[in-house]
């Protein structure tokens, strides 16, 4: 499979390069050239299949050309060591619980898959040049020299070490999922950049207490500053010659595509419960739009659902796009659902690219296609609180602030006969102080979360100036 850039000004890449580089040279996002439809037989069998087998079928369609199928199967099985169940909350509304992984949020799925895929490429002895082109046989490129397998080094510069450095900006949950997904993986070092004072104490301890190959960088700024530092680092020639850098943000194809696994599985579970696929509405609480983007790719592969809802907190950029056709990024606003505090969703470019057929359709036509499939919602912190209280009172189900946006959007927008499933993107205990306060309860902390809180915090303080971050990395 080849991957092209949404900006259309970078050469196409193979999977290896797309995973290692994260972002294309022209700052665009990688898109697979083909989205393979799954065969009808798969959809017939799906309701009786195990989660891992459903996921393996989906993974084969994306990655089967580039990873041998035995390894891919191991990779998928090893990633999915926990369930993603669909749980009934009330009549017609189900919760897709994506918090049963190690860090209790959906990002565990993508992060674990990406860590294992990167390790697969490293183990196969492939070295990667500064521009992301790869010697097939594992020899390191010199200046314009020919690799051992006959392919020519594309960049003309050697990377100094064979270890890979993952840079990841986080507003909370990405950092913990990536840090834990990569923890202890040989040859990979992870730098987690997070906004000082803007992630919850429980989130913070999940990436600042790990040690080993994980370094937490505490940036004096907001999430968008962290994201800007990471993006600048990838574009900096000197830095890329000094060390091999890669991203693990939701822009990385190895992180966002695997999220399609659990949507197929959710639809399979709903069909097994007797629901019609043509009634199913999937609602995704969204920030950078990686999660919903994976669902939309699933839909392109033939996943049978009726429509989608993207639920936002007060950061309403996508909501406004749906209403007006205009995309106006804004600085992010801090809200109760802080993992969705994004003012310029990075995967918006993928959604536009997908529905404009890589720019073939006009903005108006693209907007029309998008709004016929996806509707939006935006909620204030007060509405989130109200929804959490009302759902708890009515059903006993404890929503976290992100899931609450999804639940409310279904309550408001489901039509008669439709079956809604919203992503419960994180365990409520990850936001314990807020949830306890809002609901007046004492949410139990799962054992695997409590374990993180016993560790010692270690972090590197950083300003939001790129020069400072670069100077720090050049010393590593």
Ligand X SMILES: *Cc1c(COP(=O)(O)O)cnc(C)c1O
The 364-393 contact track toward ligand X, x by CB under 6 A, reads: ------------------------------
Query: Would you give the end-to-end CA distance of the chain in angstroms?
Result: 34
Instruction: Give the binding range for ligand X (CB under 6 A) out of 49-57, 232-240, 283-291, 409-417.
Output: 283-291
Single residue of 402, 432, 434, 464 touching ligand X by CB under 6 A: 402
Single residue of 105, 114, 391, 439 touching ligand X by CB under 6 A: 105
With a CB cutoff of 8 Å and minimum separation 6, the contacts of 387 are: 379, 399, 404, 405, 407, 408, 411
Q: Where are the alpha helices (DSSP H) in 289-340?
A: 290-300, 317-324
Whole-number Å distance between alpha carbons of 12 and 292: 24
Instruction: Give the binding range for ligand X (CB under 6 A) out of 123-131, 138-146, 233-241, 281-289.
Output: 281-289
Distance of alpha carbon 181 from the chain centroid = 13
Instruction: Give the binding range for ligand X (CB under 6 A) out of 7-15, 279-287, 352-360, 459-467.
Output: 279-287
Question: Which tokens sit at 470?
Answer: 């670069």
Single residue of 54, 425, 464, 469 touching ligand X by CB under 6 A: 425
Single residue of 288, 313, 315, 353 touching ligand X by CB under 6 A: 288
Question: Which tokens sit at 218?
Answer: 């505490």
Q: For residues 126 and 312, which CB has a smaller minimum distance to ligand X in the complex? A: 312
Is residue 351 within 8 Å of 290, Cβ to Cβ? no
- Would residue 329 be called left, alpha or beta, if left means φ above 0 and alpha means ψ between -120 and 50 degrees? beta
Q: How far is the CB of 471 from ligand X (least distance, A)?
A: 30
Q: For residues 130 and 345, which CB has a smaller minimum distance to ligand X in the complex? A: 345
Single residue of 6, 265, 286, 332 touching ligand X by CB under 6 A: 286
Pick from 96, 107, 132, 67: nearest CA to 340: 107
Q: For residues 15 and 340, which CB has a smaller minimum distance to ligand X in the complex? A: 340
Question: Which tokens sit at 219?
Answer: 């940036």
Question: Which tokens sit at 420?
Answer: 């809604």
By CB atoms closer than 10 A (0-12, 13-18, 19+), residue 248 is buried
Is residue 125 within 8 Å of 111, Cβ to Cβ? no
Instruction: Give the binding range for ligand X (CB under 6 A) out of 221-229, 272-280, 288-296, 438-446.
Output: 288-296
Instruction: Give the binding range for ligand X (CB under 6 A) out of 179-187, 286-294, 387-395, 467-475.
Output: 286-294
Single residue of 54, 134, 426, 443 touching ligand X by CB under 6 A: 426
The single residue listed with the structure tokens 């993928």 is 350
Whole-number Å distance between alpha carbons of 91 and 338: 29
Q: Hey, which residues between 160 and 219 contact ligand X (CB under 6 A)?
A: 173
By CB atoms closer than 10 A (0-12, 13-18, 19+), residue 95 is buried
Instruction: Give the binding range for ligand X (CB under 6 A) out of 31-39, 185-193, 215-223, 289-297.
Output: 289-297
Size of the residue set binding ligand X (CB under 6 A): 16
Does 319 bind ligand X (CB under 6 A)? Our answer is no
Single residue of 181, 258, 285, 298 touching ligand X by CB under 6 A: 285
The 51-90 contact track toward ligand X, x by CB under 6 A, reads: ----------------------------------------
The single residue listed with the structure tokens 């989608």 is 308
The 333-352 contact track toward ligand X, x by CB under 6 A, reads: ------xx------------
Q: How far is the CB of 437 from ligand X (least distance, A)?
A: 18
Is residue 312 within 8 Å of 325, Cβ to Cβ? no
Q: For residues 206 and 240, which CB has a smaller minimum distance to ligand X in the complex? A: 206
The single residue listed with the structure tokens 């700024």 is 221
Does 250 bind ligand X (CB under 6 A)? Our answer is yes
Does 101 bind ligand X (CB under 6 A)? Our answer is no
Q: How far is the CB of 51 from ligand X (least distance, A)?
A: 20
Q: How far is the CB of 101 from ligand X (least distance, A)?
A: 11
**What are the start-end ranges of the E strands in 206-361?**
214-219, 244-247, 280-285, 307-312
Does 312 bind ligand X (CB under 6 A)? Our answer is no
Whole-number Å distance between alpha carbons of 100 and 82: 6
Q: How far is the CB of 309 from ligand X (least distance, A)?
A: 13
Is residue 437 within 8 Å of 414, Cβ to Cβ? no
Write out the residues near ligand X by the rule CB under 6 A. 105, 107, 173, 250, 285-291, 339-340, 402, 425-426
């Amino acid at each position: 499979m080849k991957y092209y850039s949404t900006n259309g000004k970078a050469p196409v890449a193979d999977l290896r390069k797309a995973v290692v580089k994260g972002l294309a040279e022209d700052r665009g996002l990688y898109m697979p050239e083909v989205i393979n439809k799954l065969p009808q037989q798969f959809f017939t069998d799906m309701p009786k299949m195990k989660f891992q087998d459903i996921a393996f079928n989906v993974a084969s369609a994306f990655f089967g050309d580039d990873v041998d199928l035995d390894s891919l199967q191991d990779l998928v099985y090893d990633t999915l060591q926990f369930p993603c169940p669909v749980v009934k909350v009330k009549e017609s509304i189900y919760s897709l619980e994506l918090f049963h992984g190690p860090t209790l949020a959906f990002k565990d799925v993508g992060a674990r898959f990406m860590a294992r895929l990167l390790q697969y490429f490293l183990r196969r002895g492939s070295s990667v040049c500064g521009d992301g082109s790869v010697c097939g046989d594992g020899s390191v490129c010199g200046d314009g020299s020919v690799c051992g397998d006959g392919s020519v080094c594309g960049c003309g510069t050697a990377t100094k070490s064979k270890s890979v450095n993952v840079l990841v900006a986080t507003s909370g949950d990405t950092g913990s999922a990536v840090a834990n997904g990569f923890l202890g993986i040989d040859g990979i070092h992870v730098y987690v950049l997070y906004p000082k004072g803007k992630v919850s104490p429980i989130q913070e301890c999940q990436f600042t207490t790990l040690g080993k190959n994980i370094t937490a960088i505490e940036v004096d700024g907001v999430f968008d500053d962290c994201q800007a530092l990471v993006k600048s680092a990838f574009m900096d020639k000197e830095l890329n010659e000094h060390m091999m850098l890669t991203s693990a943000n939701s822009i990385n194809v190895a992180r966002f595509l695997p999220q399609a696994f659990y949507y197929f599985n959710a639809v399979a579970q709903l069909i097994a419960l007797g629901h019609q696929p043509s009634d199913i509405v999937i609602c995704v609480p969204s920030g950078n739009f990686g999660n919903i983007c994976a669902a939309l790719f699933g839909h392109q592969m033939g996943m049978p659902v009726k429509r989608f809802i993207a639920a936002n907190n007060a950061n309403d950029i996508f909501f406004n796009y749906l209403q007006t056709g205009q995309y106006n990024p804004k600085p992010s606003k801090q809200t109760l659902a802080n993992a969705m505090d994004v003012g310029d969703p990075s995967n918006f470019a993928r959604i536009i690219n997908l529905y404009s057929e890589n720019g073939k359709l006009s903005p108006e036509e693209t907007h029309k296609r998008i709004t016929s499939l996806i509707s939006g919602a935006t909620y204030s912190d007060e509405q989130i609180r109200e929804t959490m209280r009302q759902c708890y009172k009515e059903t006993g189900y404890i929503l976290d602030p992100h899931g609450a946006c999804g639940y409310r959007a279904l309550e408001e927008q489901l039509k008669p006969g439709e079956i809604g499933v919203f992503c419960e993107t994180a365990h409520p205990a990850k936001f314990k102080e807020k949830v306890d306060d809002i609901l007046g309860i004492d949410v139990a902390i799962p054992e695997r979360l409590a374990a993180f809180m016993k560790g010692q915090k270690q972090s590197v303080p950083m300003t939001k100036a790129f020069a400072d971050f670069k100077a720090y990395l050049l010393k590593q």
